[in-house]
Amino acid sequence: MELKFVLAIASSILAIIVFIPYFIDIFKQKTQPHLYSWLIWGILQIVGTAAALKAGAGFGSWALGVGALFCLLIFLLSFKYGTKNIHRSDLFCLIAAFVAIGMYFLVENPLYSVLLVALTDFIGFLPTFRKAHQEPWSETFSTFFLSAVANVMSLAALEAYSLTTALYLSSLFVTNGVMCLILYFGRRRMGPNAQIQ
């Protein structure tokens, strides 16, 4: 069996496993997802998957497709279980993300399109970065850590390497890694007594 196919299967399975603790924590009301972030991420993962497939990513795009489905499910759950910690700056991020998504459909260059997707993903992270800094126990650490691992595996599974095929996965690795650092140091700063009851 081809190594890239095995890595694609493994990263897709990991993409599923990544979200299991997140869903459990949502229903236990330990995790409070940010509605705007998950909407942006769901749309972006759909766009990112399509762009990666068009650019020849092949197996390397599978985990993105799985992630898109779960992002949209979490977005829907956010209406009931999501955070109430939504600021005006978050709305600006949502608007900026939609402007960037709109620009994506106007840009014909695949590299510029992927750059816009990566930028929009980062903008989508900003409300959750802010919330996680203020409430580090309101997110599931393992989901972001395993997402970073899955992104590395997807990068390894790419059938064609170029800035266009690798940039979005690389940006996902970086933003998930930054989220892990925010949660880790925020929890150390606040201590376990700050957990959501």
Backbone angles phi, psi at 142, to 5 degrees: -60, -30
Q: Which tokens in the block code for residue 155?
A: 């990068």
HSE (side-chain half, CA atoms, 13 Å) at 78: 23
CB atoms within 10 A of CB 105: 10
In this prediction, residue 92 has a pLDDT band, given cuts at 50, 70 and 90, of very high
Model pLDDT for residues 143-174, shown as the tens digit of each residue? 999 888 878 877 887 777 888 778 888 998 99
pLDDT above 70: percentage of residues in the chain: 95
pTM: 0.82
Give percent of the chain with pLDDT exceeding 90: 47
Per-residue pLDDT band at 70 (split at 50, 70, 90) = very high
pLDDT at 197: 41
Cβ atoms within 10 Å of 79's Cβ, excluding its own: 8
The torsion angles phi and psi of 29, rounded to 5 degrees, stand at 60, 30
Lowest mean pLDDT among 29-38, 63-72, 187-196: 187-196
Q: Which residues contact 152 (CB under 8 A, 6 or more apart)?
A: 173
∠ CA 178-184-186, rounded to 5°: 100
Yes or no: say if 16 and 145 are a contact pair by the CB < 8 Å rule: no
Say whether pLDDT at 187 is over 90.
yes
The three-class DSSP label of residue 44 is helix
The more confidently predicted of residues 54 and 70 is 70
> Stretch 11-31: mean pLDDT, rounded?
90
The span from the CA of 136 to the CA of 189, in Å, is: 9
